[in-house]
A and B are shown apart, each in its own frame.
Chain A
Amino acid sequence: MDADLIVQILFAAIKTGTPLLFIALGEVICEKSGVLNLGQEGMMLMGAVVGFLAAYGSGNMGFGIIAAMVMGSIMSLIFAVLVLHIGANQVATGLALTIFGTGLSAFIGADFVGQTIQGFQPIAIPLLSDIPYVGQILFSHDILVYFSFFMTALLVYVVNKTRIGLTLKAVGENPHAANAIGIKVLRVRYLAVMFGGAMAGTAGAYMSLVYTPMWVEGMTAGRGWIALALVVFASWRVGRIMLGAYLFGLASIMHLVLQGLGWSISPNLLAMLPYVATVVVMVIIGADHFKEKLLAPRSLGKPFDPRNMA
């Protein structure tokens, strides 16, 4: 393999990892507040179809992204009401959200399957993109990839250095204590869940507006689930999610790498790689039981009912 091919592979790994990065950034904030939302796949598909339709109808890509974000938030709001107010089981509600979103997105998008759209064009950042190799890998992308860089940096800062981050972690670690010092636990959780929805929507829009760019039923192909594994893989640390997303991106494009090495393997077998990689990762992290217990938000998946506090 020559240097050019390696550059191309790393560039593609970032592109492929970006939707995973968006969902996982949203989900980690959601999980840090103590809520496990398994509806990522459904929110992402709704973001993909609504983003596509909005951009297709208006001719404005930015509008498509915003519509996808709003749609993702609306979807997550259904989940939030059921889980936070009605106290429904988080696992079951998340599954319902995924099934609902899969169906609704296919229903809405049925007439638009196969239509194509002029996707976002790459923008080379002046100066930075001239750095040999690194510039080509990191700074010759479309605007959404830069947005994902920005969001990662922003969330690392907010979670680790600000009062908002502290509040979020307090709610996720010990909602009762947080409630006792006057934090509105449910309000924080609503906002965290809806932020997760908006990010999942963005990830969906990235799929239908940039990555493919078109709408196909079920086009997210399990990325919402892989992102959930990614959050565990990153031990709920925002910075590590970025690294993990690109590693998974690399696993998804292994066929390019193997072709580069001159191997020939059935594409259907290679298509299994990201899923097999996810299982392997789950085994590696899970094996360190103590560490996972230590790092996971302590109230993750447990309902909090303020009425019981009185």
Chain B
Amino acid sequence: MIRIQARTEPSSLMKVASPLLAIVLTLIFGAILFSAIGKSPVQALHVLLIAPLADSYNIGEMFVKMGPLLLCAVGLSLCYRANMWNIGAEGQLLAGALGGSAMALYFIDSESVFALPITLLAGIISGMAWAAVPTFLKLRYNSNLILTTIMFNYIALYLLIWSVHGPLRDPDGYGFPESALFSDITLLPTLFEGSRIHLGILFAIISGIIGWFILSKTHLGFQIRVFGADEPAARYAGFSSKKLSWFVMLFAGALAGLAGVSETTGPIGQLTPNISPGYGYSAIIVAYLGRLHPIGAIIAAMFMAVLYMGGDLAQIEMGIPVAVISMFQGVLLFFLLACDFFINNRLTFTNQATN
């Protein structure tokens, strides 16, 4: 019979294998689902996973989507390691887009070479500010970070909608809730001719490397790791929980804000109400799938970007609702959490029932 037995040491093999296993199980789930709704599972999986990588245009679009996912996920990885349950990447991204766009519109007639850096900085600072308020409320008033960051996501969304209906609306835009198109001086340069891949993806990969460096090579990162693994031990060692909380939250806010401003000054080129198809929420899954490790997040963000692209293609080519993507994300996290059980446990097979 099969018995569940606790491992004496956590399995380092399972730590790596678990996300891969979860992906495979999610794909099997997807195949079954597509059969159930009368679509060819082979074709569906091909459209979801292979087609996004099939030609250079699609690969370029995949990298465009990977940028914001990765920027948000790197910040969240550090937050979750320090036990700061920041669910607010979406709001911080929107705040960054809003702040950055306001600055870009200010520079609309400018020729200054500083216009783009200042615009990006405005986005970063807006994202940090949006993360700072819930952090302050948690540290000063002990308010629940999960709930306040989520509420700030909604508040940011309505603030964005309000501003494109009001102060930031294009006066020549026939009343559409959109800002004016930004001037070329504040647009992120593209990396390759004929592709929409822009500087944002470089920011994202650099952020992953910086995140890895902080976490693995600095005393601050050491403190974060100890804090996540054993909070009483970290306190005993005299690590300041306040300082760490501020650091991870502002770092995450800055990256999410950069993601937001990179979207508006990159592929979109103006501020619209729907600049994010839930990147900030998907980044939570990316962070987990990457094992809360910034380098792992790079690989996980690429997978998630493929899934996003695949979702778009599946809608166009097979009429599958695009919502299937967020369903897969949820299933993926379920499977991941379930597979993680085997990091600390294993199945043993015995010939006789034990009493």
Is A232 touching B144 in the complex (CB atoms < 8 A)? yes
The verdict on A86 contacting chain B, using a C-beta distance below 8 Å, is: yes
The verdict on B161 contacting chain A, using a C-beta distance below 8 Å, is: yes
Is B333 touching A96 in the complex (CB atoms < 8 A)? yes
Nearest A-chain residue to B338, judged by Cβ: A86
Q: Which residues of A contact B158 (CB under 8 A)?
A: 268-269, 271-272, 275
Is B321 touching A268 in the complex (CB atoms < 8 A)? no
Chain A residues with CB under 8 Å of chain B are 38, 42, 78, 82, 86-89, 91-93, 95-107, 110, 217, 221-222, 225-226, 228-229, 232, 266, 268-269, 271-272, 275-276, 278-279, 282-283, 285-287, 289, 292, 307
Shortest beta-carbon distance from B230 to chain A in Å: 16
Is B323 touching A103 in the complex (CB atoms < 8 A)? yes
Find the residue from A96, A97, A100 having the highest chain B CB count within 10 A.
Answer: A96
Is A107 touching B337 in the complex (CB atoms < 8 A)? no
Is A91 touching B143 in the complex (CB atoms < 8 A)? no
Q: How far is the CA of A195 from the CA of B166 in the complex (A)?
A: 44
Q: How far is the CA of A276 from the CA of B142 in the complex (A)?
A: 17
Is A283 touching B166 in the complex (CB atoms < 8 A)? no
Q: Which residues of B contact A266 (CB under 8 A)?
A: 162, 165-166
Q: How far is the CA of A97 from the CA of B137 in the complex (A)?
A: 27
Contact stretch, chosen from B108-116, B148-156, B257-265 = B148-156
Is A106 touching B326 in the complex (CB atoms < 8 A)? yes
Contact stretch, chosen from B190-198, B248-256, B280-288 = B280-288
Shortest beta-carbon distance from B138 to chain A in Å: 8
Shortest beta-carbon distance from A94 to chain B in Å: 9
Q: What are 5 A-B contacts defined by CB distance under 8 Å?
A: A89-B337, A91-B146, A95-B87, A100-B326, A106-B326
With A222-B150, A279-B148 in contact, do A104 and B337 touch (Cβ < 8 Å)? no
Shortest beta-carbon distance from A233 to chain B in Å: 10
The verdict on B85 contacting chain A, using a C-beta distance below 8 Å, is: yes
Is B159 touching A272 in the complex (CB atoms < 8 A)? yes
With A95-B333, A286-B137, A286-B142 in contact, do A103 and B155 touch (Cβ < 8 Å)? no
Q: Which residues of A contact B338 (CB under 8 A)?
A: 82, 86, 88
Q: Which of B311-352 contact A (CB under 8 A)?
A: 321, 323-331, 333-334, 337-338, 340-341
Which of A38, A86, A96, A275 makes the CB contact (< 8 A) with B341? A86
Q: How far is the CA of A282 from the CA of B150 in the complex (A)?
A: 12
Q: Which residues of B contact A105 (CB under 8 A)?
A: 323
Shortest beta-carbon distance from A52 to chain B in Å: 16
Q: How far is the CA of A283 from the CA of B305 in the complex (A)?
A: 37
Q: Which residues of B contact A278 (CB under 8 A)?
A: 147, 151
Q: Which residues of B contact A101 (CB under 8 A)?
A: 330
Q: Which residues of B contact A89 (CB under 8 A)?
A: 337
Q: How far is the CA of A268 from the CA of B168 in the complex (A)?
A: 14
Q: Which residues of B contact A106 (CB under 8 A)?
A: 321, 323, 326-327
Is B161 touching A99 in the complex (CB atoms < 8 A)? no
Shortest beta-carbon distance from B253 to chain A in Å: 16
Given contacts A271-B158, A286-B144, 20 further A-B contacts (CB under 8 A): A86-B341, A88-B340, A93-B337, A96-B334, A99-B281, A99-B285, A99-B326, A103-B324, A106-B327, A107-B323, A107-B324, A217-B323, A268-B162, A269-B158, A272-B159, A275-B151, A276-B155, A278-B147, A282-B151, A286-B137
Q: Which residues of A contact B166 (CB under 8 A)?
A: 266, 268
Which of B146, B152, B324, B333 makes the CB contact (< 8 A) with A99? B333
Is B148 touching A282 in the complex (CB atoms < 8 A)? yes
Is B327 touching A104 in the complex (CB atoms < 8 A)? yes
Q: Which residues of B contact A91 (CB under 8 A)?
A: 85, 146
Shortest beta-carbon distance from B354 to chain A in Å: 12
Q: How far is the CA of A53 from the CA of B328 in the complex (A)?
A: 22
Q: Which residues of B contact A107 (CB under 8 A)?
A: 321, 323-324, 327
The verdict on B141 contacting chain A, using a C-beta distance below 8 Å, is: yes
Shortest beta-carbon distance from A8 to chain B in Å: 25
Q: How far is the CA of A86 from the CA of B22 in the complex (A)?
A: 15
State the 6 A-B residue pairs at the shortest beta-carbon distance, nearest first.
Answer: A100-B330, A103-B327, A103-B326, A106-B323, A286-B143, A96-B333
Which of B6, B154, B324, B337 makes the CB contact (< 8 A) with A272? B154
Shortest beta-carbon distance from A16 to chain B in Å: 16
Nearest A-chain residue to B80, judged by Cβ: A92
Is B329 touching A103 in the complex (CB atoms < 8 A)? yes
Q: How far is the CA of A283 from the CA of B148 in the complex (A)?
A: 9
Q: Which residues of A contact B284 (CB under 8 A)?
A: 95, 99
Nearest B-chain residue to A106, judged by Cβ: B323
Is B137 touching A102 in the complex (CB atoms < 8 A)? no
Q: How far is the CA of A65 from the CA of B146 in the complex (A)?
A: 30
Q: Which residues of B contact A225 (CB under 8 A)?
A: 147, 150-151
Nearest A-chain residue to B6, judged by Cβ: A307
Nearest B-chain residue to A83, judged by Cβ: B337
Q: How far is the CA of A232 from the CA of B151 in the complex (A)?
A: 15
